[in-house]
Structure 1
Amino acid sequence: MIRILLADDEAMIRAGVRAILGADPELEVVAEAGDGRAAVDLAIGHRPDVALVDIRMPKLDGLAAAAEMRRVAPDTAVIMLTTFGEDDYIAKALDVGASGFLLKSGDPRELLAGIRAVADGAAYLSPKVAQRVITQLAGGRLGRGAVARDRIAGLTDREREVLTLLGAGLSNAEIAKRLFIVEGTVKAYVSTIFGRLDVRNRVQAAIIAYEAGLVPGEGYH
């Protein structure tokens, strides 16, 4: 069972998302919040697997709430759920440590796929958002490639293997299966990679893998 915190200041939006999630027996909404501060408190109290967080909320906006959740409830993966697809929101969401970014106008199947992906330790971007990110990276890849290659130079061969598969969008379980190691070992490698690359989440690590030439742009979910 994947336990979910739903945070949105619009009750009708929460009801709609709850209805979509309620149709899946493997998903359970364990708490709801109408503002960012309450969302953080509920994340601490309930320790959900995934938090769906709207960007624009009162008391504490979604981006600030997501950053705080990553600090006080690090085992809760955060997905930003919003009607806004502007590039600055995407960049800020990834910078604060969000594992996913979904548009409310997207297909409900994207919501379900995104929740499962981040709960399994992967990252998930709405296809429209992923295309924006990939296009931006492609435009400046040559200029950033050397920097990215320098950043991964200190990784061991095994860490580079894990980073490559992470960049290709594989979850921890999928990486473990591919490399014939246990999932706990993959988690340890991922944590070490984050520290060596000075990144907060899988998307940021995947971007470095892409810029360094380890994986093609199609690696994002």
Structure 2
Amino acid sequence: MTDSTSMPHKPLILIAEDVESNYKLLEIILKKEYDLLWAKNGREAVDYAFSAHPDAVLMDIKMPVMDGIEALKEIRRHNATLPVIMQTAYAFDTDRRIAEEAGCNGFITKPVMPRELKMYLDQYLHRDNA
């Protein structure tokens, strides 16, 4: 009989991204260190944030059904501490300001640079190693 408590726990990252190729890129970067959950729109992201209890969220700003800013605001109404890192191909200062005002913990632009993404995740998920 194996003891499941001896297996290392991989943090769960919720990726809110409507474009499959963008999700696949994030999957390649993250799958070795993290368990991943894919939401294809902002409404799914909010639902998964509450039901799956991820350790962090990567939230695209431009998505169908509910955009990333509205999804972030909805998450923040119920959870002020969940790390949410916004990602967008539209790197305007106004987008960054709006995301920060809504409560994001970080902001990265696409194409995502693996080092920058891992820096943010390490900052919020590996505090005990710092």
What's 2:6 paired with?
none
Show the counterpart of 1:112.
118
Q: When you count strand as a share of all residues, which structure comes out higher?
A: 2
Answer yes or no: is the 8 Å Cα contact 1:49–1:75 preserved in 2.
Answer: no
78, 94, 114: which is aligned to 1:88?
94
* Alpha-carbon distance between aligned partners in 1 of 2:104 and 2:124, rounded to the nearest angstrom: 10
| Residue of structure 1 aligned with 2:35, choices 28, 38, 54 | 28
Q: Residue 52 of structure 1 aligns to a residue in which SS?
A: strand
- Pair 1:7-2:13 in alignment: no
Following superposition, the deviation at residue 74 of structure 1 comes to 3.3
After superposition, the Cα gap between the structure-2 partners of 1:172 and 1:66, relative to the gap in structure 1 and judged at 3 Å, is: farther
Match of 1:63 among 46, 60, 69: 69
* Aligned 1:54-203 pairs, distance under 5 A: 54-120=60-126
Q: Deviations over 1:40-94 (max 9, x none)?
A: 0000011111000000001110001011112223342100011111010000000
Q: Tell me the secondary structure at the aligned position of residue 102 of structure 1.
A: strand
Structure-2 separation of matches of 1:10 and 1:77: 22
CA distance in 2, matches of 1:172, 1:19: 25
TM-score normalised over the length of structure 1: 0.51
With CA pairs under 8 Å and 6+ residues apart, which has the higher RCO, 1 or 2?
2
Greater per-residue helix proportion: 1
Q: Give the TM-score normalised by the residue count of structure 2.
A: 0.84
Residue ranges of structure 2 left out of the alignment (5+ in a row): 1-9
Letter in 2 for 1:14: Y
Aligned length, in residue pairs: 121
Distance in 1, matches of 2:58 and 2:123, equals 13
